[in-house]
Structure 1
Amino acid sequence: MYRKSISGADKVAAREAKLDEARAKLADALSALMNGAEFQRAIEFAARFRSHSFNNTLLIWLAHNDAYDSGRVPSATPTYVAGYRQWQRLGRHVVKGQAGYMILAPVTARYVSDDPANPGSWRRLERGKGPPDGETLKSRLVNVRPTYVWDVSQTEGDPIPLLPVPQLLEGQAPEGLWDGLVSQVLNQGYRLSHVPDAATIGGANGLTNFATKIVSIRENMDELARCKTLAHELGHVLQGASEDGPSHRGIAEVEAESVALMTLAAHGVDSSQYTVPYVAGWANSVKGRSPLELVASTASRVRAMAVQILDRLDTLQVADGAPPGLQQVPQPSQRTGARPAPPSRQVVTL
């Protein structure tokens, strides 16, 4: 039987076409985020899929909406997503005819240096070789490639274990959240000050003073509002500790409020009572960068700060989008010649 071979050039062209398709979808999604309400929805969604980069979260969001509109999935919101072989490792398989959601997977290379402080000293390490003695090794993102994930509703097989979900009363903060946020503020070298009311700090609910390294929170709010405010101020603290923190006040406020929103959403808190400022106003006021660039960078930075906060909290949180048990499944042994599949977070985080 004659089978037409596919040339390397054809494969590259096909891959680039898929990447162009993903980039076009991302541009459309970012354009939609010029509306403040959509920006809030995107941040809340990202909180439930925080094992993925923000760009991949948007691609999952768009693809799942298409699947739902066409009747291929039963729910408007995805729950767990994973790659084809990852589902197989969990005893499940993709249902025939279910199209995967295209996301962007990183392609990395190893670099070594005998003078890590010198940016020009890093050189790429050949495949299969280890770093020379005394040299520093690190991985760098050198490209991206298209890959696919499927929602659990597109698969069949062994049941997925149910994770506990935070249950909150109105106005009540998740257990341990306040203490965990306070600990992180203190670990950044700041002091926490309780003030009686908003008038004490210029009409605000909270205030971060970078000069004195004091975070002030007004006391006359309910427990949940105080936690939300402290998460907002911790966002400012992390901005101040970052070398590439925002220089525009509007961007800084949107980022900090979005960090708070994502932190609460990861604890199952309905954050609709809080308002993320409209993006268009501040985005268009920053010269030299397009609104799309600003939204993309802001959302990525928000995710990075929120994930840093959430990873350091000993609290009950909603699932992060990766199927429970995926990281605990034994990988194929390299002794058999089988190449182990990378963990979910490595596959999709850019």
Structure 2
Amino acid sequence: MTTQVRGRARATREAKLEALQQELTESVAALVTGEDWKRALTFAAQFRSRSFNNAMLIYAQHYSAFNEGRVSGPTPTYVAGFHQWLSLGRQVVKGQHGYGILAPVTARFASARPSDAASWRRLSRGEKPRAGESVRSKLVGLKPAHVWDVSQTAGDPVPELPRPTLLHGQAPAGLWDGLADEITALGFELRLVSSAAAIGGANGLTDLLAHEVSIRMDMDDAAQVKTLAHELGHVLLHAPRENVTSTDLAADATLHRGIAEVEAESIALMVGAAHGLDTSSYTVPYVSTWAASVPGKNPVEVVQSTAERVRTTALGVLEKLDTQKVGDGNPPGLDRDTLSRRPGVAPAITGTRRDESVLGL
């Protein structure tokens, strides 16, 4: 490939990335009300195999396709790459356009002194580390990739995952116990109180200094579980941590009550949505109210950073729960090797430390 051809390919790739970033910014900027925020996080919970950014890109492009009459429903169900659909006996219908997403580009780095940040060197393609070296994978860039919703494909039937079935006011089986175990494992005592009067009129209360979480018991089971997930969100995101860095302290300084409550409620919403729990009664304050109040950042930046922070925390909660959940956006039936190569997700890394920045894609 000549230098001129490589240059044209690079320019094309960068133009596609810029267009995707612009579409992402416009999509996130539209999240200005509690209802929009609720819909976005509910969808992210049901597409939790994807980053918040890619989930929003998929959602926006699918909705546009629906308005143009190219797909039958306004919300995507399962998405996968072209060859992944082929592995499931399905193929993309002629004329259907894929949804552009941001796929990670990773590289391997090696070091004989892992604690020395300056000692890490990038390994070239096929290069093996030297004896005694540690190896890690790190995000080095992004590239455009495409996925298609199941409604854009035809072929063999896609297996249906079992879905939790809940009656009004009923909590998903095992969810209370699982959330309670996570709270106590973090060193917090769980207190059950008779009514809101015992905790100042609230449904739940987290005392970060006393390491106590209190939940009122005069609510239906679903409300109790949602409140427990909300309080777990406070414990995970807002409890003081040892050995914080100056960056952590700066972040804590900008975190006010409004953001803290939106984050905790958003985690509760995502945990509930992943279990098929009705979120219609959730109250999420207007995003624009608190997003515009953080010094040095515009509202879109705050929404994006908070959404990924919420998503990552909610995924950590869900991974520890041995409960029946709704699908995660991947078509049922894909094997592990195929999943590890799905567009928009970094490949699984064995025996190395995966860089945390990859999780933000």
Asked if Structure 1 and Structure 2 have the same fold, meaning a TM-score greater than 0.5 normalized by the shorter chain, the answer is: yes
Q: Go from structure 1 to structure 2 and tell me whether the alpha carbon gap of 1:139 and 1:66 turns closer, same or farther (over 3 Å shift).
A: same
Q: Go from structure 1 to structure 2 and tell me whether the alpha carbon gap of 1:341 and 1:186 turns closer, same or farther (over 3 Å shift).
A: closer
Match of residue 219 from structure 1: 217
8 Å CA contact retained: 2:100, 2:145: yes
Structure 1: gaps spanning 5 or more residues: 332-339
Q: Go from structure 1 to structure 2 and tell me whether the alpha carbon gap of 1:343 and 1:98 turns closer, same or farther (over 3 Å shift).
A: closer
- Aligned-residue identity in percent: 55
- In structure 2, give the amino acid aligned to 1:68: F
Aligned to 2:314, which of 306, 313, 319? Answer: 306
TM-score, length basis structure 1: 0.91
Matched position secondary structure for 1:272:
coil
Mapping for residues 186-265 of structure 1, pairs under 5 Å = 186-239=184-237, 240=239, 244=248, 246=252, 247-265=255-273
Q: Go from structure 1 to structure 2 and tell me whether the alpha carbon gap of 1:270 and 1:8 turns closer, same or farther (over 3 Å shift).
A: same
* Separation (CA, whole Å) in 2 of partners of 1:213 and 1:173: 25
* Separation (CA, whole Å) in 1 of partners of 2:127 and 2:158: 40
Match of residue 334 from structure 1: none
Q: CA deviation at 1:113?
A: 2.5
Deviates more, 1:267-276 or 1:115-124: 115-124
* Separation (CA, whole Å) in 2 of partners of 1:202 and 1:254: 20
- In structure 1, give the amino acid aligned to 2:179: L
8 Å CA contact retained: 1:64, 1:76: yes
Mapping for residues 18-97 of structure 1, pairs under 5 Å = 18-97=16-95
* Separation (CA, whole Å) in 2 of partners of 1:117 and 1:241: 25
* Separation (CA, whole Å) in 1 of partners of 2:53 and 2:175: 28
Mapping for residues 121-132 of structure 1, pairs under 5 Å = 121-132=119-130
TM-score, length basis structure 2: 0.89
C-alpha RMSD over aligned residues? 2.1
Matched position secondary structure for 2:107:
strand
Match of residue 322 from structure 1: 330
Deviations 1:235-291 (A, max 9, x none): 111113775475332211111100000110111122011111111111122212111
Matched position secondary structure for 1:271:
coil
Deviations 1:69-90 (A, max 9, x none): 1111111111000000111111
* Separation (CA, whole Å) in 2 of partners of 1:131 and 1:218: 56
Deviates more, 1:188-197 or 1:261-270: 188-197
8 Å CA contact retained: 2:208, 2:240: no
* Separation (CA, whole Å) in 2 of partners of 1:118 and 1:241: 27
* Separation (CA, whole Å) in 1 of partners of 2:335 and 2:213: 37
* Separation (CA, whole Å) in 2 of partners of 1:82 and 1:13: 26
* Separation (CA, whole Å) in 2 of partners of 1:67 and 1:249: 39
Q: CA deviation at 1:343?
A: 4.3
* Separation (CA, whole Å) in 1 of partners of 2:192 and 2:207: 14
8 Å CA contact retained: 1:107, 1:143: yes
Structure 2: gaps spanning 5 or more residues: 348-357
What is the total number of aligned residue pairs between the two structures? 338
* Separation (CA, whole Å) in 2 of partners of 1:342 and 1:264: 29
8 Å CA contact retained: 2:109, 2:121: yes
8 Å CA contact retained: 1:327, 1:343: no
Deviates more, 1:128-137 or 1:82-91: 128-137
- In structure 1, give the amino acid aligned to 2:285: P
Match of residue 341 from structure 2: 342
- In structure 1, give the amino acid aligned to 2:275: H
